[in-house]
């Protein structure tokens, strides 16, 4: 029987490429389609936690406590205004991350923690920090699929080779099931021929599938976190929200 839960790690060691926005928006789009969704914030900056209306400073039990084994997974999960479940993060996760480095099974801990609640969810989306450290490797070890958001601009694909090397290592040594779903172009400006050329170059250089549609560049994404809602909650008919709905539909198909 195929697994009932699909776990996707959203990964790119470059910051500011749209990882957090993708996790929040795809999660909201899947929730609209009556899917049960758990989001995991692995970034000590707590950007996902914040953008879904929860002040990271008010979070008592983080994903860090779960990874260190001082909290059960279900005790750390909170429900957002958008109706999604979230394993939150805040700055204390930095200490958890440091402590994990000398702990046994550090790369397996997220997988084990998520397995305990997986029955409750159709989708688990993991937001990674902008590094290839223990958190990101843990996410790749827990996931079946990897989604790589990439800003369609000059040289923004520097580092993709290193990311693919990490994915390859995880596949070989830890998680042979891992599958690269593809690159999701974000902040895409369709008016420039250049953006399209970058996407083609990535496809040819790395032989990676490109997930469609590309997510358009729009100021609405920057505004949504201020309301503590994803763009789908604040802007029902926006083209950015619509693009994420289409990506969600293709995940369901």
Contact track, ligand ADP, 8-37, x by CB under 6 A:
-------xxxxxxx----------------
Strands 85-87 and 78-79 come out as antiparallel
Tell me the β-bridge partners of 39: 86, 125
Report the site for Mg ion in 16-75 (rule: CB under 5 A): 19-20, 47
For the record, the structure tokens of 37 come out as: 């969704």
Whichever of 213 and 240 has its CB closer to ligand ADP, that residue is: 240
Contact track, ligand ADP, 212-251, x by CB under 6 A:
---x-xx--xx-----------------x-----------
Strands 123-127 and 37-41 come out as parallel
> Is residue 141 a contact point for ligand ADP (CB under 6 A)?
no
**Element containing residue 24 per DSSP (H, E):** helix 19-32
Q: Give which of Mg ion, ligand ADP, none residue 21 binds (C-beta under 5 to 8 Å, depending on kind).
A: ligand ADP
Whichever of 19 and 106 has its CB closer to Mg ion, that residue is: 19
Q: What's the rounded Cα separation, in Å, for the pair 189 and 63?
A: 35
For the record, the structure tokens of 120 come out as: 């409750």
Rg (CA), the chain: 17
> Is residue 185 a contact point for ligand ADP (CB under 6 A)?
no
Residues engaged in binding ligand ADP (CB under 6 A)? 15-21, 47, 130, 186-187, 215, 217-218, 221-222, 240
């Amino acid at each position: 029987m195929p697994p009932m839960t699909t776990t996707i790690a959203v990964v790119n060691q470059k910051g500011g490429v749209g990882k957090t926005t993708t996790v929040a928006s795809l999660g909201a789009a899947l929730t609209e389609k009556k899917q049960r969704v758990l989001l995991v914030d692995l970034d000590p900056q707590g950007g996902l936690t914040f953008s879904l209306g929860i002040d990271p400073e008010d979070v008592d039990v983080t994903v860090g406590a779960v990874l260190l084994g001082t909290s059960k997974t279900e005790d750390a999960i909170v429900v957002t205004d958008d109706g999604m479940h979230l394993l939150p993060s805040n700055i204390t996760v930095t200490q958890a991350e440091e402590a994990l480095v000398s702990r046994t099974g550090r790369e397996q801990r997220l997988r084990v923690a998520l397995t305990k609640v997986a029955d409750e969810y159709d989708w688990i989306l993991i937001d990674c920090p902008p590094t290839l450290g223990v958190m990101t490797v843990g996410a790749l070890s827990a996931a079946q699929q990897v989604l790589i958001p990439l800003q369609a601009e000059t040289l923004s694909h520097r580092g993709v080779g290193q990311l693919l090397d990490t994915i390859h290592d995880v596949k070989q040594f830890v998680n042979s099931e891992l599958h690269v779903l593809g690159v999701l172009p974000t902040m895409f400006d369709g008016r420039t021929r250049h953006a399209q050329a970058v996407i083609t170059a990535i496809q040819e250089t790395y032989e990676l599938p490109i997930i469609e549609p590309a997510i358009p560049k729009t100021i609405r994404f920057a505004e949504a976190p201020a309301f503590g809602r994803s763009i789908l909650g604040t802007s029902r008919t926006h083209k950015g929200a619509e693009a994420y709905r289409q990506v969600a539909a293709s995940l369901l198909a």
